[in-house]
Structure formats: C-alpha cells, structure tokens
Amino acid sequence: MSAHSESGKLTKVFIKKVSDAFINDEHITQHWEALNYLGKPDITKALLEYDAFEQILKDNGAEVLYLPQDDTVNMDSIYCRDAAIATNRGMIICNMGKEGRIKEPAAEQRAFEANDISVLGVITAPGTLEGGDVAWLDEKTLAVGHTYRTNEEGIRQLAALLAPQGVNVLPVSMPHYKGPSDVFHLMSVLSPVDSNLAVVYSPLIPIVFRNELIARGYELVEVPDSEFDSMGCNVLALAPRVCLMVKGNPITKERLEKAGCKVIEYNGEEISVKGGGGPTCLTRPVTRA
C-alpha cells in the first residue's frame, strides 16, 4: 500500500456526505453565494447524486471512511481533498488559501486522529497549501501548483516535511486565469489516471510542466475547450485506467476509452459542477495498492 500515487487501486478513502456538508436547504441558501458557487445546489438532487457517487467507490473496492458534520466548517468541506495531503508517514494538514475554508484542516485532523490515522505535520501561516494543488507523478515526485491558494512558503514547508521520505517536490507556477476568487488548482488541469497516462487541459498548463510530463513518459489525454468548465479534466482513478468522471464530457470520455480506460460516470450537477469540485475534489484518498 502507498499514499504516493494518484492512480493505484483505491483502497481507503475519506469522503464527506452531502447530509454532513450541505446539511439542509436553509444552510445552502445562507452560504452558497458567498462561497462563489455557480448556482444554488438542490439538496434533494444533491443527496441522490452523492448516494450514487458513494456507491461507485464501494463497488470498486474502496474502504470508505466518513468525515463527520462539524459546525466549524461550511459547504465546501464536501471537497475534502483540499484540506490534507496523504503521505506514507501520515497526513499533512493544509492551511487553506480560501478564507471561507480556513477551519477545514483542523476539522479533518480531528477525524484522522479519531480513526487512528497519524499526522506527519501541519502547514502554518504565512504558508498556504491546498490538496487540490498537489499530484503525485510517481512514488518520489509530488507536483505542487503555485496558485492563489498555495504560496511559496506553503510549498517550502511541504518540501521540508517530505524530504526525510526522499520525496522531491516539483513546483508548478500556474497562470492567473480568472483570478483569486476562482477555484483554480493544479488538479483543475491535471488528473493522472495511470503511471504513464494523464488527463490534461493544455491551454492552462505551463509549457515547462507539460514538457516535464512528456519527458517522464506520460501519454496525455487532451480535454477540449468545450469540456473544461464541465469538469472534463477532473478525473479520479479508482484503479489504473479505471476512471470516474462527471457525466457530460463525451469527447474526453471517448479519448480515455481510446487510451484503454474504463470510464464510469456519475451525475454531478449539484455536488460537483455548481461548486467547482469533481470526483478528485470529493475524495481524500489515504492509501492505494
């Protein structure tokens, strides 16, 4: 088992259910606009979407652990990848770059400790780091996006925590795109789905990093412009070349299948598209085989 993979068979994963994150329609009404959602999620539809999403994880052999309802955090806590990073020596607790999510890392740390999962370290101010900005390229290489959510000091602290494991942190300077208010992480444009296959949106990937992926032997599945906003680039590997993605991205799906992938889709209008968080964002993997 290893935590240093984005594409090995998913064996243990944390999620946070809609009922514990969105809670109810009143809570959604109070918070969705301030959190920059594209639209107000429908709680009834969101519950159904999430039940189906959760069942897919279980059907594919993952042990599912649950982050509990916590009054200190908000709707965005459903996107549980962002508050922590898994390593082979324990979880690294992040420090969020989005003000409305600042209490999520501590809430996740409490859940990890309650489940006897060790904590390696904590990113502290002025460092910021979000899990959506990191992606394992191989066992010893962790790519980290320098974004509006993850700053240089956060990357420095991360590198220091990982150095004893012989892990090289590879910073990736990301573009401005839509600015500080937008949800734009490294994993908005990169989803490794095998040790040598990644889904990418090349128009927003720095040339140096794209060339690095190719030099490392990655084949790139290109997401078309028409499927970027519908989360075509946000793909979760349940196992090597077994891909989970939001329904509504037929071109990307076809390209994945041509690359030898099995593609599983879920309805994610309420739980993914409106909040800007696809299947990678909805999961905090702990270990893969």
Q: What is the pLDDT of residue 97?
A: 92
Domain assignment present for residue 256? The answer is: no
Domain assignment present for residue 94? The answer is: yes
Q: What is the pLDDT of residue 201?
A: 98
Give the distance from CA 14 to its chain's centroid: 12
> Whole-model pTM?
0.96
Q: Give tens-digit pLDDT for 125-161.
A: 999 999 999 999 999 999 999 999 999 999 999 999 9
- Going by pLDDT thresholds of 50, 70 and 90, the confidence category of residue 182 is confident
Q: Give tens-digit pLDDT for 92-116.
A: 999 999 888 999 999 999 999 999 9
Per-residue exposure over 221-255, b if at least 16 CB sit within 10 Å of its own CB, e if not: bebeeebbebbbbbbbbbbbbbbbbbbbbeebbeb
Which domain covers residue 109, as residue numbers? 10-181+268-288
Q: What is the pLDDT of residue 60?
A: 98
Average pLDDT, the chain: 97
Average pLDDT value for residue range 69-75: 96
Domain assignment present for residue 89? The answer is: yes
Q: What is the pLDDT of residue 223?
A: 98
Q: What is the pLDDT of residue 183?
A: 82
Element (H, E) at 108: helix 104-114
Q: Give tens-digit pLDDT for 45-61.
A: 999 999 999 999 999 99
Domain assignment present for residue 99? The answer is: yes
Q: Give tens-digit pLDDT for 220-238.
A: 999 999 999 999 999 999 9
- Number of domains making up the chain: 1
Q: Give tens-digit pLDDT for 240-259.
A: 999 999 999 999 999 999 99
CATH of the domain at 76: 3.75.10.10
Q: What is the pLDDT of residue 14?
A: 98
Q: What is the pLDDT of residue 100?
A: 87
- C-alpha distances (whole Å) from 208 to each of 188, 213, 214, 279 are 17, 9, 10, 27
Beta strands in the chain (DSSP E): 10-15, 63-66, 84-87, 90-93, 119-122, 134-138, 141-146, 168-173, 190-194, 197-200, 219-222, 236-239, 242-246, 262-266, 284-288
Q: Cα-flanking dihedrals φ and ψ of residue 133, to 5°?
A: -95, 5
User: Cα(218)–Cα(7) distance, rounded to whole angstroms?
Assistant: 13
Domain assignment present for residue 257? The answer is: no
Domain assignment present for residue 21? The answer is: yes
Domain assignment present for residue 204? The answer is: no
Q: What is the pLDDT of residue 181?
A: 82
Residues above pLDDT 70, as percent of the chain: 100
Domain assignment present for residue 206? The answer is: no
